[in-house]
Amino acid sequence: DAKTTQPNSMESNEEEPVHLPCNHSTISGTDYIHWYRQLPSQGPEYVIHGLTSNVNNRMASLAIAEDRKSSTLILHRATLRDAAVYYCILRGLMEYGNKLVFGAGTILRVKS
Amino acid sequence: GAVVSQHPSWVICKSGTSVKIECRSLDFQATTMFWYRQFPKQSLMLMATSNEGSKATYEQGVEKDKFLINHASLTLSTLTVTSAHPEDSSFYICSARDFRDRGNQPQHFGDGTRLSIL
C-alpha cells in the first residue's frame, strides 16, 4: 500500500509561491516526513524533513498538520530551476527498517 | 554539504558483459548504502541495502546473483550487474547514510549511472 499520496502534477508561475500537498493518513508516531526532489537525469536531492513542528530552511518550508496526517511543502518563490519531481516520503525508525521508499511523486512544472 | 560520488556516470556495453558501478561517500562515513533503479518516467525502486562488512539485503524480486553488492569499506559500495542484458538498461542510483544518523537525518544520493546494454 502506498504510504503517501501526492498529486501527479502541478503547475506554477515563476516567482510565485508553490504549495505541494502530501497525505499520509497512516503515519506512525515515529515517522519523519521527508521531502526530496529529482531533476531530470540526476539523483534525488534532499529538500527538507520534519516530525511535528513546521520547518524552514533555505530551500523551502514544511508545514505539518496538527494530526500529522498531511503536510505541505512550500516553495516561496518558484524559479525555473525548481521544475522537478517532488517526493514526499515517510521514514520510519522501526517498522520499515529505516529505508527511503519512493512513491510516484509530484511533477512540478514552472512557467516563465 | 555531504557528497556522494557515483562512477561511472554512464556506460554502454554489449550484452553479456558485467558492469561495475562505484558509490563513494566523500566527506562522511557510511555504514549503510542503498541501491536504487529507475526506469524512464517511473519512480526510484529500491533494490538492496548494503551494510559495511556484511551481506547486502535485497528487496523482493531482485536477483542477488544478478546484482552483486560489495560494501568493503565505510566509504565505498559497489554494484556489479553480471551478464547484463538489454532489459537491465536503466538508471542506477546509490545513496549513503552517515554512520552518525540515528534515523532522522537526510539521506545523500549520487548523481546516478545511466546503463545501456546493446
Region B9-14: mean pLDDT is 96
Is residue B63 over pLDDT 80?
yes
- The pLDDT score that the predictor gives to residue A97 is 57
Minimum distance, in Å, between the CA of residue B106 and any CA atom of chain A: 6
- Chain A contact present for B54, CB below 8 A: no
DSSP-assigned beta bridge partners for residue B70: B78
Smallest Cβ–Cβ distance between A102 and the set B6, B44, B114 belongs to B44
- Beta-carbon contacts of A44 under 8 Å, excluding residues fewer than 6 positions away, are A36, A37, A38, A87, A102, B44, B93, B95, B109
Percent of chain A with pLDDT over 70: 94
Smallest Cβ–Cβ distance between B104 and the set A32, A85, A101 belongs to A32
